[in-house]
Chain A
Amino acid sequence: MRQEQFVAKHAPSWIAFEAWLDARADRPRQARADRDWRGLPDEEMPHAYRRVCQQLGLARRRGYSPAVVDRLQQLMQRGHNALYRPPPPRWSRIPRFFLAEFPRRVRAEAGYMWLAFVCFVLPLVATFALVRLMPEYAATIFSQQQLSEFESMYSSDVAGGKLGRDSGTDVAMFGMYILNNIGIGLRTFASGLVGGVGSAFVLVYNGVFFGTFAAHLSNVGLSDPLWRFVCGHAAFELTAIVIAGGAGLRLGLGFLMPGQRRRVDALVEGGRRGALLCLGVAGMLLIAAFIEAFWSSIGAVPASIKYSVAGVLWALVFAWLAFGGRGLRDAD
């Protein structure tokens, strides 16, 4: 077939396809709401696209002029983008994600989560016991100056009766906790890419840090303000760090032991699951930052109320992670 005949025969369908792309490809939601569309029907689009692909192959094979081939190529690329783009996010699914899907995703990686838990809690308990028994070891982990800073943060006579800080208003500390803690959570996951080493390191480091820190403050008689401060937000903060670490371990160990997949495929899968877990981790750390800034820091609340609230929070977190989304039908 001569090029002119070919173009004359198919140009009307190209024009219709192009009109569909211009009008409806970029904003599918608006397009669905528009009932007056009289061009190419939406359900005909995949068929029209495949025809363009076939005609492009023909045009290339028959050596038609670059103008025709370029035009078809452009139509093909735009059609490909419209047909193979990922589905748009459904914002109405956000509550469902946090209440049901996130706990299910955590439970799906239970093995890695327990591994992360051990990586965090074992050093914590070990250093706590060590420094309680032999207080001088605190000075090998922290410098003398750091230790006195910790002590001043928890003495009730500074910062206007506020616990756990040297200075700063609640809002300023809220911003600070968001910047630092969510950043740490996300880095804990990402650094797992290096064979899980990064995540494991962050978990162990934080375990050692907190174990020594708590033991030292207990040794100098500040255990009451310390526990009153940390007990509440720890429910969200520590669990979130462990989950982020678990996701990072999954990413890294998947790379080391990919099973019957290519390593890169194992990484892609770990990355996808980890990214979804990270959304939940960021949400948990946001809640933790809020509690830490506006509730934990109030020095005047008596210990009994602080501990009861903390008990409720811990129970909520565990119930949520253990039972959230059980028995729910899978999302499509």
Chain B
Amino acid sequence: MLDTVREVHTPEGVALRLPTAGPVPRAIAWALDLLIRGGILMMSATALSLIGNAGMGVYLIVMFLLVWSYPILCEGLFNGQTPGKRVMELRVVAADGAPVGWIAAIVRNLMRTVDMLPFGYATGLVCALFDPHGRRLGDMVARTLVVHEPRGGLRRAMFDAEPHTPAVPLRPAEQAAIIAFADRSPMLTFERQLELADIAQPATGAGGELGVRRLRGIAHWLLGRR
């Protein structure tokens, strides 16, 4: 129940891991979208007030489009991301991990009518809390999920270090831990780095600052820079 990652097995027999998003980031994304929509509405109101009474009609049509079409069009055109979801690094995908289709985007957004009941998305929140994959009713009917975007590019920020061959063979979990250490070492204090590198002394064969450098070196070696 605590692990929100949904594993989907593709027809080719490999597992696809979809980290589903909880109600809080989704609510923030929704609030951001609300701000954007409000902003567009206010701007169009100012522009349309210049053309008088007919402007009122156009203003109401803009309002209709913002209420009903904005999420559908954004999710359909930008591969499951409204601007708010983009900021929060969320994405709507089909339940099998494929990109979301237009019909699914229409269904999940029409169903907001029910998720909003009786006030403030209470129904949707209760559903999302009970569902293991954090889906609201609209997601269930449309067979979609909201997932966190995978974060790439962290590895490029790694410190440079001389590749170093580990003194002992490493198991996959140990390899992953060492690479994660190298990934995060720019964010850690030096003392903490020393502390962590000391645990890996059997692999580095050295303690202190040399150990830290060798451990980063091992990470580079594991990533294939020899």
A contacts, CB < 8 Å to B: 7, 49-50, 53-54, 56-57, 63, 65-68, 76-77, 80-81, 84-86, 89, 168-176, 178-179, 182-183, 186-187, 189-191, 193-194, 198, 251, 264, 267-268, 270-272, 274-276, 278-279
Contacts and interface: CB of A to CB of B under 8 A. Distances in A.
Contacts of A66: 172, 175-176, 179, 222
A77 B56 CA distance: 47
Contact of B59 (A81, A175, A190): A175
B224 A172 contact: no
Contact of A172 (B60, B67, B107): B60
Contacts of A174: 57, 61
B99 A168 contact: no
A191 B114 contact: yes
B179 A76 contact: no
Interface string B1-18: 000000000101110100
Contacts of B94: 86
A178 B68 contact: no
A57 B13 contact: yes
Nearest to B60: A175
Contact of A84 (B98, B111, B224): B98
Contacts of A187: 113
Contact of A272 (B56, B107, B114): B107
A67 B98 contact: no
Contacts of A186: 68, 110, 113
Contacts of A191: 113-114
A80 B224 contact: no
A79 B175 CA distance: 27
Nearest to B225: A67
A68 B60 contact: no
Given A7-B224, A86-B98, A189 B110 contact: yes
B179 to A, nearest CB: 6
A190 B67 contact: no
Interface in B163-217: 171-172, 175-176, 179
A102 to B, nearest CB: 14
B103 interface: yes
Nearest to A57: B14
Nearest to B62: A175
B103 A275 contact: yes
A171 B54 contact: yes
Interface in B83-132: 94, 96-104, 106-107, 110-114
17 contacts: A53-B13, A54-B12, A65-B224, A67-B223, A76-B16, A85-B99, A169-B53, A171-B53, A172-B57, A174-B61, A175-B58, A175-B59, A178-B60, A179-B60, A193-B114, A268-B143, A275-B106
A80 B53 contact: no
Given A65-B175, A179-B64, 17 more contacts: A57-B14, A67-B179, A81-B98, A84-B10, A85-B99, A168-B56, A170-B57, A171-B54, A171-B58, A174-B61, A175-B63, A182-B64, A183-B67, A193-B114, A198-B114, A251-B141, A276-B103
A22 B112 CA distance: 35
Interface in B63-83: 63-64, 67-68
Given A53-B13, A268-B143, A182 B68 contact: yes
B107 to A, nearest CB: 4
B41 interface: no
Most buried by A among B13, B68, B114, B141: B141
A176 B53 CA distance: 12
A235 B16 CA distance: 50
A171 B56 contact: yes
Given A63-B172, A169-B53, A171-B54, A193 B63 contact: no
B180 to A, nearest CB: 9
Instruction: Find the residue from A49, A50, A264, A268 having the highest chain B CB count within 10 A.
Output: A268
Contacts of A77: 16, 97
Nearest to A83: B98
Contact of B53 (A84, A172, A271, A272): A172
Nearest to A269: B141
B140 interface: yes
B151 to A, nearest CB: 12
Contact of A179 (B12, B63, B96, B172): B63
B21 interface: no
A183 B222 contact: no
A85 B113 contact: no
B145 interface: no
Contacts of B101: 85-86
B29 interface: no
Contacts of B59: 175
Contacts of B12: 49-50, 53-54
Contacts of B63: 175, 179
A275 B14 contact: no
